[in-house]
Every structure is written in C-alpha cells, then in structure tokens.
Structure 1
Amino acid sequence: MRHPEFVISAGRPAPLGATFDGDGVNFAVFSQHATAMEVCLFSADGKTETQRLRLLERDGDVWYGYVSGLRPGQYYGLRAHGPYRPDEGHRFNPNKLLLDPYAKRLTGKPVWHDALMGYQVGSNARDLSFDTRDSASYMPRCVVEDTAFSWGYDNHPRTPIQDTIIYEAHVKGLTQLHPKVAPEGCFLGLATDAMLDYFNKLGITAIELLPVQSFLTDRFLHEKNLENYWGYQTLGFFAPQPRYLSEGKISEFQQMVARLHHAGIEVILDVVYNHTCEGNELGPTLSFRGLDNRSYYRLIQDKRYYINDTGTGNTLNLDHPMVLRMVMDSLRYWVQVMHVDGFRFDLCSTLGRTDYGFDPGASFFDAIRQDPVLTQVKLIAEPWDVGPGGYRLGGFPAPFHEWNDRFRDGVRRFWRGDAGRAPDIAGRLTGSAAEFDHSGRPATASVNLVTAHDGFTLQDVVSYNGKHNLANGEDNRDGHSENYSDNFGWEGPTDDPKIVEARNRRKRAMIATLMLSQGTPMLLAGDELGNSQNGNNNAYAQDNETSWIDWENADMDMMAFTAEMIRFRREHPILRQKVFLHSRERRIDGREDLFWWRADGTPMLTPDWVDPGLKMVCVEMRTASGTPIYAATENAIFAVFNAGGDAKVHLPDPPKGSRWAWSIDTAEPGRAQITVRKTEVTVKAQSVAIFVLEQVA
C-alpha cells in the first residue's frame, strides 16, 4: 500500500505539540540541547513508519514545522538527535521513538522490551553504553486530535469551598463491579445515570479522581503479572489514560465531565507533576529523557544521576522555564479544554523545591498564584515528599488547600482510645489551627480525611491490626506499618455480632467526626459502603477485586448514615465556617464562639486537658466573629465525642427561650430527633451525640 508523501513547511513555535488548524498540523517541540528533531508519521493502523519529517525551523529552543493536509487521527512520534553523554546529562538516542509531551491522545502503553532502553542492557558499562535498536515496535503512538467539543450549556458548579464534600475515587475501581453500570471501568461508566443518582443521594459535591493522565505499569510490576492500578507513573501530561477510553475518544472524558457538572458534581484530578515514569538512569527512554534529559530533570552535580526527592528515581525540573511552561500548559488544558474544576498535586512539596530546599515562593507556586485561569479552580497539595525536609503541612501559600494526615491519625488514635489524645482531637475539630491559622488562611485550607487510597479503608481500620500486603510481591515490606487501627480482638472478617456492632459503631463515630470538623471533608469512595481491601494498605498494584468496590455486598445502612451526616453538615452552617473558632467574642451578640465543657457541665481547665485518661470531648460551637450574618441563623451546636464507656453528660444551660434538640446519636443511627427536657443525658460508649439549640415557639 502506497502511503501519501507529506511536505513540511514553515510553521509556528507556538502552541507546543501537534495542533490541527483545519488545513493541516503544526508541530512544535521543545529541546534546548538537541541538534535535530524529527516527526515520524505512521500508517493508519499505526504499525508502519511511513515518513520522517525533519523540523527545520528553530526559534530559541523550540523546533517546529507545518504539514499541510495532515488530519486528526494521524499517528506520530518523535526522534531527537544530539549527544549521548550521560556523564554530562545528555541521553539523546535517535533510535528511540519518543512520545510528544504535549500529545493529546496515546494509543496505549509501551510493551516492555530491552529496546526501550537508551543503553545496552547487560553491558558492563551499564547506562554509559549506547543501544542502536529501534524501539518503535514497542512504543505506543501519539495521535493528532481535534479537541473541540460541543459543551452546550455546561457550567462549572463552582461549589464554595466551605460547602464542598470531596469523594476520592478510582475510575475503574468505582464502576467495575457495579451491576447497573455499562461500560464499566471507564469514564463513560462513571457518568451513567446509576452513578450520578448515587452521588446525589450520598450528597457529595466533588469527585477527586486518582490519576487519569496517561501512565504505564513499571517493568518490575509487569514481570510479577501485576498492574499499576493507582496511576502514579505519568507517561503524558495531556493525554487521558487509554484504558479508561472505551471507544478511544478523548470526547469520552469531556462527556463525563459535562454529565457530572449537570448533576452538580465538580471534577478534581489527582495529578503527578513531580516525576515521570522514566525512572532513574537505568530506566527507559520514552519521551522526556530522550528529548532533553538535562532540561526536564533535576540532576545531581554528577550529571549522570538524578535527584530523587520523589522516591521514584527522578524529579522534574520545574526551575527550567520550559518545563514549568509544560506543567502550566497542561493544567490550563485540563481546565479550559476538558473543563475540570481543580487538582490535587501528588508530592506537592517537590514542586516547591529549589536548590536551597522547599520554598513557598518557588516558581511553580508563583506561576499558579498569578494565573487568571488556575486561580479560579480548587488547588489541593499533598504536603510532603520523601526528600530532606519534605514534610510541609501548613506551609503552602494561598490559594492551596492541603491534605491533613494529622487529622487522619488524630481521629484514629482518639477513637482507638490512645492515652492523652483529647487535646489533639479538639484541635482537629477546630480546623487544625496550629498548622493552618496563619497568613490569612481559612479553616477550609485543611482537607480533612480519615482514609485515602493510600492506606487502609475505613472497614480495614476497624478490622486489622496489621497490614496484609503479600499480594504486592514485596514480602509485606511495603505500605505504612503504623496505621493506628484496631481489629477488636479478631483479625479480618468475622460473624461475631458483638465485634461487628463495635466496628460499625467506631466507623460511624469517625465519619461523624469528619463531618463535624472545621475544614474541607474528604471521603474515600467505598468507605460509606463498608468496602474492604482485605487488609492491604498499599493496593497500588491490585487491579482486581481487592481494590474494586464490592457493590453486591455493600452496607447500605452505613451509606444511609454517611448521607445523613453529609446532609447534617450541609444544613448547619456553623459546621462550615471558614473563620477559625478561638473562643472569641462574636460581633453579633458579644458572646464567645467556642466553649469546651466537662461532662459535669463546667468549663474545661488545664488539668482536664492534660489528663491522659480523658476519653471524652464536649464542644459548643457558635458563629465565629467576622463570619457573615447569614451563618448566624442558628444559635449553637453542642457535640459530645465519647471514646470511652457510657457516660452521663450535663448539657450547657440553654439561653432563655431556647432548648436543646438531640439531632444525631451515632450509637442509634436513624433515630428521630429528640427534644431534651432534662439537663443530663447518657451518651453511649464509642459514639458521637449532636445537639442543636432551637428556639422555643
């Protein structure tokens, strides 16, 4: 079959990537150190390389050219010429087909073979050797795309952060086993009526998706017959993961977003801009390494090796303006073209690293803060990495919010009954002010979580004392060892009714704590259904029933309780205040906004707080000073967090003309609200009791 011959002509250095303009395609590729750049075209089936076109124009460090007559759907790749001097940081090898960092779609993932390496595997010279085999047979293809989509009346929900309930989910894991979802395991499945109805019934306002930018499965996992399930090994920052496209069209992602928006649900993406899937000096040459290793990656003084603050072998060099530009272009693409509503940045401390360590004024943060597009969406930092000084909770600039692992650990330890945890849980209930109440940051800066994809599910927190990760093939060495969990006397599943009830009561108490705390709550998908991973707390490689949500055996009573707590939070603005509560007088009526009470109805004093045996915290919350008047329509909420045994609690004396209504008792879920006509009540063991101050008619 004869393939058409295309001619390259003068083009434009911007935008970067392959851009279709209706008549042809403009190619623009950044490389500071290359000596030549080629675009490789492939046949319609992607198997045969039909033509190589050298990009003859160069503007600064951008190579570019225009190909008239080229259409969307064209398969292509890149080859970069230049020095192969690993000791100087250069790893060019034109025998390796490279992916365009700006490719909008990929046909799949690389097929593991030694030809993917720029060096000769097994050579005594290791990565200093040079491999001449062509890698094209083992590489996916980039695809020219027309990204236009008919959005109709799509509107971003723009849910205020104080009203946001985040639901962390995996595209495949959430839908693969759902009996009413088809096609399952993909973007379109996530947007079916069954899922949209479920989201609205539960009451979430935003779904935070584990990585959906294209990624690969590491070779060591492939050789163990395992898959990269979570997706934290990015292959392309603009292309959706091919396995989530049931029909191979990027419009499937856009359609999913449009339907979620119509249901009032925001879409937040978990993104990985701290490293790529190419690993260390012994990793494959797939894209960035072959295009300009010395520019894309942070290298140590011996340029042969990589700075590894991420624990994955390499670290992207965001100090380089063109690498930073790629990240910013990627973020804007997902907002402007794909209409997402925010991002959660994996290992965000790495993005703020300079030669002098972490800097909240680093180029990445400054670029974000001045960007008119990105400052309009939700931005969430994972505030740590594995490098020196990498734990930075509370240290990120506005408008970033941050995952709060201290909230997670504090809630688990308090409800487990660990000694001396009352002061900590009090701090978590009031927005973790010790970490976040500075620099004008709101209480909502703390993204509160009890569980996340990384770690035990909520069911496993109350079912296992230790991790059970043998299926990962690492002899149970991987994953967190300190989970602050409690199996209630039996490791794993049990039919013992007493243990089952104790576990359910603990779970309800932790969900209630999450929804009653100042900050932005995040719920792990499946926790509301009693989903278990059989004690695996690092299921990153388990693309199977271990990680997929078990809808058939879902605990719908737990789901109903979770939905009730979300509804309660939504209906009571006192719980959604952005202003920190610090026992200050309200401008509205001159009374304080926060009271800590003993069980006998007297104020907490210093000796009470330092009592290691204290297992109960009683708090009265009111509207904070400076909070808008609309939030002052209710007088107070009194909540009791009882991690001990059954206890008598004296309610605060209600002001004249008002009374307490016992709205929620986690020991008796679903119980109707009770008007309290006495000053003392019994709060059961391992439970949360919530009272709302009502006006007497």
Structure 2
Amino acid sequence: MSYSFSELDFMKPELGAEFTGEGTHFAVFSAHAEQMELCLFSDDGKEETDRLPLPKREGDIWSGYIAGLKPGTVYGYRAQGPYDPKNGHRFNPNKLLLDPYAKEIVGEIAWDDALYGYSIGDPAGDLSFDERDSAPFMVKGVVQDPDFDWAGDAAIRRPWTETIIYEAHVRGMTMNHPGVPEELRGTFMGMASDPIIEHLVDLGISAIELLPIQYFPDDRYLVEKGLRNYWGYQTLGFFAPQPRFLSGRAITEFKTMVKRFHAAGIEVIMDVVYNHTAEGSERGPTLSFRGLDNLSYYRLSPGDLRHTYDTTGTGNTLNIAHPMVLRMVLDSLRYWVGVMHVDGFRFDLASTLGRTRHIEFDREGTFFDAIRQDPILSGVKLIAEPWDVGDGGYQVGGFPHPFREWNDKYRDDVRRFWKGDGGLVSGLATRLTGSAPQFNHSDRGATSSVNLISAHDGFTLMDTVSYDGKHNEANGEDNRDGHSDNHSHNMGVEGPAEDPAIRSARDRRRRNMIATLLLSQGVPMLLGGDELGNSQNGNNNAYCQDNETGWTGWDGLDDPFLNFCKGAIAFRKRHPALRQERFLTGEAGEDGTVEIAWYGPDGALMTDAAWKDGNLRTLGLFLAKPANGEGADQLFMVFNAGGDCTVALPEANGITAWKRVLDTGSDDNAFAEHPAEGSVMVSGASIAAFEPAG
C-alpha cells in the first residue's frame, strides 16, 4: 500500500508519531535541516516502501498527517541539509534516522560502516562524506496505539521516610531464578512474575529501581569483542522500552509489569540516561540525533564545532540547555509517568543536566527549574547521581529539592569503618544521621541522602568482603576499567573461601553493613542480590557481562543471611526513630527529653577528644522520636568495629532498664530479645541495639 500526506491543515502539539484513531500524525524537530523525509517500511523493516517529504514546517517542527495509517507501521526519517562538520552540521540523507520520540523500536543494529555519516578509513576522517544507505542495518520506529486497561491502578506516592529501594536489572534479576518460567526470563513479564514479586514483598521492599530500560543498542566495540551492553547506559530511544526485555513485541508488557508491581505495593523507579546518547563522539555513527540536527542536540566544543564536548566520558553530551532538547527530556519523563505509570526516576550523571550554556553546574539551572514547576514531575520520586566526569562535576549535596541523591560518601565511610580503618567514628556518626554536612541546607530534609553500601557499579556486598582487588579481566580491558579504591577486605583469602572462620567473619561483616544501612537516617537502597550473597567473582564493572557474572544467583534463597535482611528491614519499619524527616539537632525538648545523644563505651557522652580519638572503634547512639499519642520510640545502638567490648547502657530520658533486640554477632538469631541492665558485653565487630524494657 502506498501512502501520501493529507492536505488537512492542522498541527498536533505532540512530537513523534501519534495515532489519532483514523490516521497518524508525524512531527519531528530540526532547526537546521532543509528538508525532512518520512520513510515507511514493510512490517519486518527490511523494505522501504515509501519516502515522503514532510509537507509542513512551523518554526523548527516538521510535520504531516497520513489518513488511514495505523499502529504497527514501521518508519524512520532522512534529513536533508548541509554536511559541514567544521560548523557543526552533519546532515546525510543516506542515513536512516530513528525518531527520537519513537514509542516502539524493532530490529537490532547490525554494525556496518554504512551507519556512519563519514567514510571510515578516509584520510579526511569525519570530514569525509559516506553515500551508502544505512537503512538495511538500522533499527526503526513503530507507530503505537497507547490504549491499555489501567483499571484499578493508582500511583502509590509513598513518603520517602517509608521508602526502601531495591536496585535491580530486568534481565539479571530473572535469568537464573528457578521459579520464573523459562520463556519469561530476561523480560518485563519475568520481572512481573509471582516468584519475583513475592520475593520483594517478603523481603520488605517498597520500590524497585530498574537499571536502564529505555532502548539502547550494543556498542560496536563490545560486539566485536563478543560482549554486550548489559547495563544499558547508552540510550538511543528515550520513549521506547528495550525490545530485548519483551517476551513478544507488545510494549504493553512493560505496563503490565508496572501494574503488577503497584498491586503488590511496590513503586517503580527508572534509571534514565539523559546526559548522553549512544552515538558517541563526532567519530561515532549517525543513528538519530546527529543526523537530525547535530548542532542543536549535542554540546559542541566552544570555538571548534567539529568536535563534541564531553562531560560524560562517553564521547558526547546532550545539549539540555537547548529548549527543544530540554522539551524532549521533559516530554519523555512525562510520557513514562503519564502513559507508562512509573513512579520516579534515577538520573544518571545528573550533574550534566545541571550544566548551563556556559558549561558550569548550576543548581538553579533551567532543567531543575523546569522539573520543580512541572505539576506532574515535581510529585514523583527524583534521584540524582550527583556527579559527572567534567570539571566541577562532583556535586554530592548540591542538588535542589525535591531531588534526592546517591551518597557515595555514605558507602565509603561505612565500608571503611567496618574494615577497621581508624578515625572513622565521626564519619560514621555523620552517615548514621543523614549526612548533614552535605544535605542540611536550603530546607532539605534528612531523606535527601539515598544511602547505599553497594550498587550496580562496583563490588557487590559479598565481593566487598571477599576481594581486596578488582578482577575485571573478562571485560577485555586488561583489568584497567572499574574503580580501584573499593574499601574492601577479603579477610585473608582472595575470592571464595573454605575456611569456616573466614566465612563466618565475612557473614558477620555483611550483617553489620546491612544493619548499618537500615539503622541510618535517609533512604536505604539495597543492590538486588546482596540479600542472597550474590557475587560477580570480583568484577566491579560488569557493564558488558550479560552472563552468569552479571546475573543474580539465587542459590542464597535458603541462606540465613536472607532472613537477616528481612529482619533488618522489618526492624526499621517498626521504629519511627530511624525514619525521621528532619535532621536531629540534639537539643533537649521543653520537658527535658533528648532526641539524640552519642556515648562512648563507658556510658559517658562523647567529648571532643573522644571524637578525635583515632583508636576509638566503638560508638553508642541514642535516638528518640515521639510517636502519635503512644509515647516515644526510643533506641540505643552500639556500633563496635573493634574487639569484644563492655558497654555501659545510658540512662537517657529516664530509661533505666533495656532489652537487647538486635545482635549482629549472633549467627543464629540476631533479633532475639534478651534483658540488659547496667553494662553489657558487645562482641567484636558487631552491632547491638536495645529498646526500653517493659
């Protein structure tokens, strides 16, 4: 069937391919193109059946309406314009371009030199011009019908004080689970299966944070090494679910997953990558943005528009300072909230999003202002990864409300304290109380810090206690990639150990770090699989390991450590004192009650000298929070990274009798209750927590 544009003169406000019920409206942005062509393809995407110049241009929006064109139609664009790399223009109509607003993507990129706008191998490099057609090797967009039965689904909007995040990978989480049907492993439907949801509910998780699920290709250099872009931080389609996560072709599978998570009381947070794209530097391929309007979509080097300006370490940086690029990002976010019903976002390398036209980071910048004034986006969960690789890119604590931030300072101080490094009691105290030096400003609350012990990038919790060094040889970069400063300790043996004493010590340290995470003010985030003892065999940068290394191992379902994690989460939920919205000042109330106090092992309040004692390894923390008409929730906790220690229990707020309710030194029942008065023995390398007796 051959199509043509209707003479009907109207323009829908939406960009992308919008099905109206009777036809489809196409619209795409390009400020510098001279003509834009819509290319239609056969259902399998192999044959180009129509090439139609978009008939209407208003401002920088090119558009056209085709009556009778239905969902399922496969399409792409070609852009006519100057090929003038020295002035930032890289138009090449021989290259098929993916619609930035495509809601579904079909096919896989078949890496070929024809995908590049210049001729690879030409002495002129990226100044040369390639005339080969890239369509046979390109992915294409698919017109979508947005209808879906959301009956019964509602946004959860759980308060940050009640939030416990679980970071997971769709494929990695499901590939090895024995209860997930084989045909659903690695997919959204596998994530939505009963065994996965039951595990999360039983564990006590309130929100799942998914590594990138927007469309991303496999990088050419990885494919040539027999590897794969596993993590997905190379987005090319900001509106389309990753096809490899679909068991069929219907993107409604993503919606089904979200609806099932919501029914179980679990919010869905997406890890999103709006700081760069998969097109790389000026020597990268021409797949979408570069061919549509390179000068608008990307930051280019000041004074040398031939080259991209890179603050992300990937070769390019999206030009969020451009109003139409900012619109694309905001449209994408609104789409995932409004149409796909997600509950929030974690922004990869978010410092880049805050960079102005002059490159500096500005917490009052356009992107943040746009989010804060948006009636939809300002109400969802927003988490920043508060750094990038550019100058001034490390911005922990520098983001405005309502953003929360990943806190690597928390990770490092907690790991170092339990490793036995000296001089860390003050650092631990800061992390236990919400990292006030970073976040207690600009009316930000104690939930501004997203606390983590481990994440996808770095050692798993098990590897943190099993390896002194990284082992990334399988990545094919001679073990040069990944962090080298992991604050890890193998307890005497590199890798798996048979010695029962080493295994016991590792188990205890894992309990200590998980317990610390759940006993801290802020928002706790667990790395999926840590509760199961998952290991990546010392690989701390498994971005390309779509295999047993990167996948979660489920052998730990019967491990006592899983029950400990469940108990630690339940303990946090029982105690409002651990989940406070404001930073604690230590000032006594009008009735003389104390909300926070620090103690040494002798029962005396910590002094300046004690805080500075580099040999001190034991710290006591008293917390209290009034509970609605039922008295105060009060806890005393001891964090002991040294040897066995006798600790005097304090008389705080008139409490004279305590009971021990947590002991990470216990291999069998860490949450058993035991009476405690006067002084108690806290075993070496352990945490003990006490509640008022009676």
Structure 1-normalised TM-score? Answer: 0.97
Residues 35/618 of structure 1: CA separation in 2 closer, same or farther (3 Å cut) = same
After TM superposition, give the deviation of residue 635 of structure 1 in Å.
4.1
Q: Which residue of 2 is the match for residue 6 of structure 1?
A: 4
CA distance in 2, matches of 1:143, 1:35: 25
Answer yes or no: is 1:35 the counterpart of 2:34. Answer: yes
Q: Which residue of 2 is the match for residue 196 of structure 1?
A: 197
Q: Which residue of 1 is the match for residue 474 of structure 2?
A: 471
CA distance in 1, matches of 2:282, 2:682: 60
Three-state SS of the structure 2 residue aligned to 1:513 is helix
Answer yes or no: is 1:453 the counterpart of 2:456. Answer: yes
Percent of aligned positions with the same letter in both sequences?
A: 58
Q: How does 1:65-80 map to 2 (within 5 A)?
A: 65-80=64-79
Residues 123/657 of structure 1: CA separation in 2 closer, same or farther (3 Å cut) = closer
Whether the 8 Å contact between 1:531 and 1:554 is mirrored in structure 2 is no
Deviation readout 1:16-36 (Å, 9 max, x if unpaired) = 000001000000000000000
Which residue identity is paired with 2:520?
S
Whether the 8 Å contact between 1:114 and 1:121 is mirrored in structure 2 is yes
1:665 to 655, 663, 669: 663
Three-state SS of the structure 2 residue aligned to 1:360 is coil
Q: Which residue of 1 is the match for residue 172 of structure 2?
A: 173
Q: Which residue of 1 is the match for residue 308 of structure 2?
A: 306
Answer yes or no: is 1:385 the counterpart of 2:388. Answer: yes
CA distance in 2, matches of 1:162, 1:504: 28
Answer yes or no: is 1:491 the counterpart of 2:494. Answer: yes
CA distance in 2, matches of 1:536, 1:99: 34
Deviation readout 1:595-625 (Å, 9 max, x if unpaired) = 11110111111111111111111110112xx
Three-state SS of the structure 2 residue aligned to 1:460 is helix
Answer yes or no: is 1:333 the counterpart of 2:331. Answer: no
After TM superposition, give the deviation of residue 504 of structure 1 in Å.
0.2
Residues 491/76 of structure 1: CA separation in 2 closer, same or farther (3 Å cut) = same
Q: Which residue of 1 is the match for residue 318 of structure 2?
A: 316
Whether the 8 Å contact between 1:462 and 1:503 is mirrored in structure 2 is yes
Which residue identity is paired with 1:337?
V
2:582 to 560, 579, 584: 579
Q: Which residue of 1 is the match for residue 650 of structure 2?
A: 652
CA distance in 2, matches of 1:198, 1:620: 33
Whether the 8 Å contact between 2:660 and 2:690 is mirrored in structure 1 is yes
Q: How does 1:241-280 map to 2 (within 5 A)?
A: 241-280=242-281
After TM superposition, give the deviation of residue 553 of structure 1 in Å.
4.7
CA distance in 2, matches of 1:457, 1:654: 38
1:362 to 360, 365, 381: 365
Which residue identity is paired with 2:51?
R
Q: How does 1:81-160 map to 2 (within 5 A)?
A: 81-160=80-159
Answer yes or no: is 1:641 the counterpart of 2:642. Answer: no
Which residue identity is paired with 1:210?
L
Whether the 8 Å contact between 2:637 and 2:690 is mirrored in structure 1 is yes
Q: Which residue of 2 is the match for residue 544 of structure 1?
A: 547
Q: Which residue of 2 is the match for residue 428 of structure 1?
A: 431
CA distance in 2, matches of 1:5, 1:57: 16
CA distance in 2, matches of 1:6, 1:547: 48
Which residue identity is paired with 1:323?
V
Whether the 8 Å contact between 1:13 and 1:59 is mirrored in structure 2 is no
CA distance in 2, matches of 1:58, 1:347: 35
Residues 568/120 of structure 1: CA separation in 2 closer, same or farther (3 Å cut) = same
CA distance in 2, matches of 1:128, 1:654: 74
Q: Which residue of 2 is the match for residue 349 of structure 1?
A: 351
Whether the 8 Å contact between 1:635 and 1:693 is mirrored in structure 2 is no
After TM superposition, give the deviation of residue 536 of structure 1 in Å.
0.1
Deviation readout 1:139-191 (Å, 9 max, x if unpaired) = 01110001111001101121110000000000000000101112111000001
Deviation readout 1:447-505 (Å, 9 max, x if unpaired) = 00000000000000000000000000000000000000000000000111000000000
Q: State the aligned residue count.
A: 688
Q: Which residue of 2 is the match for residue 209 of structure 1?
A: 210
Q: Which residue of 2 is the match for residue 224 of structure 1?
A: 225
Deviation readout 1:59-87 (Å, 9 max, x if unpaired) = 10000000001000000000000000000
Which residue identity is paired with 1:298?
R
After TM superposition, give the deviation of residue 369 of structure 1 in Å.
0.4
Whether the 8 Å contact between 2:5 and 2:55 is mirrored in structure 1 is no
> Unpaired segments of 5 or more residues in structure 2?
none
Deviation readout 1:243-273 (Å, 9 max, x if unpaired) = 0011111100000000000000000000000
Whether the 8 Å contact between 1:451 and 1:523 is mirrored in structure 2 is yes
Answer yes or no: is 1:506 the counterpart of 2:509. Answer: yes
CA distance in 2, matches of 1:445, 1:555: 35
Could you tell which deviates more after superposition, 412-421 or 547-556? 547-556
What is the root-mean-square deviation in Å for CA atoms of aligned residues?
Answer: 1.3
Three-state SS of the structure 2 residue aligned to 1:634 is strand
After TM superposition, give the deviation of residue 655 of structure 1 in Å.
5.3
Could you tell which deviates more after superposition, 224-233 or 685-694? 685-694
After TM superposition, give the deviation of residue 286 of structure 1 in Å.
0.2
Could you tell which deviates more after superposition, 343-352 or 644-653? 644-653
Residues 677/81 of structure 1: CA separation in 2 closer, same or farther (3 Å cut) = closer
Which residue identity is paired with 2:278?
C
Answer yes or no: is 1:599 the counterpart of 2:597. Answer: no
After TM superposition, give the deviation of residue 678 of structure 1 in Å.
2.4
Q: Which residue of 2 is the match for residue 45 of structure 1?
A: 44
Deviation readout 1:358-396 (Å, 9 max, x if unpaired) = 000111000000000001100000000000010000000
Residues 553/591 of structure 1: CA separation in 2 closer, same or farther (3 Å cut) = closer
Three-state SS of the structure 1 residue aligned to 2:190 is helix
Three-state SS of the structure 1 residue aligned to 2:325 is helix
Whether the 8 Å contact between 1:109 and 1:215 is mirrored in structure 2 is no
Q: Which residue of 1 is the match for residue 289 of structure 2?
A: 288
Q: How does 1:509-528 map to 2 (within 5 A)?
A: 509-528=512-531
Whether the 8 Å contact between 1:573 and 1:631 is mirrored in structure 2 is no
Which residue identity is paired with 1:608?
A
Whether the 8 Å contact between 1:254 and 1:338 is mirrored in structure 2 is yes
Which residue identity is paired with 1:447?
V
Q: How does 1:545-560 map to 2 (within 5 A)?
A: 545-554=548-557, 556-560=559-563
Deviation readout 1:258-310 (Å, 9 max, x if unpaired) = 00000000000000000000000100000000000000001112000111000
After TM superposition, give the deviation of residue 118 of structure 1 in Å.
0.1
Q: Which residue of 1 is the match for residue 617 of structure 2?
A: 615
Deviation readout 1:97-145 (Å, 9 max, x if unpaired) = 0000000000133110000000000000000000000000000111000
Deviation readout 1:550-607 (Å, 9 max, x if unpaired) = 11354531111001000000010000001111211235x3322111111011111111
Which residue identity is paired with 2:77?
L
CA distance in 2, matches of 1:225, 1:81: 36
After TM superposition, give the deviation of residue 630 of structure 1 in Å.
2.5
Q: Which residue of 2 is the match for residue 416 of structure 1?
A: 419
Residues 657/315 of structure 1: CA separation in 2 closer, same or farther (3 Å cut) = closer
Which residue identity is paired with 1:649?
V
Residues 33/631 of structure 1: CA separation in 2 closer, same or farther (3 Å cut) = farther
Whether the 8 Å contact between 1:13 and 1:62 is mirrored in structure 2 is no
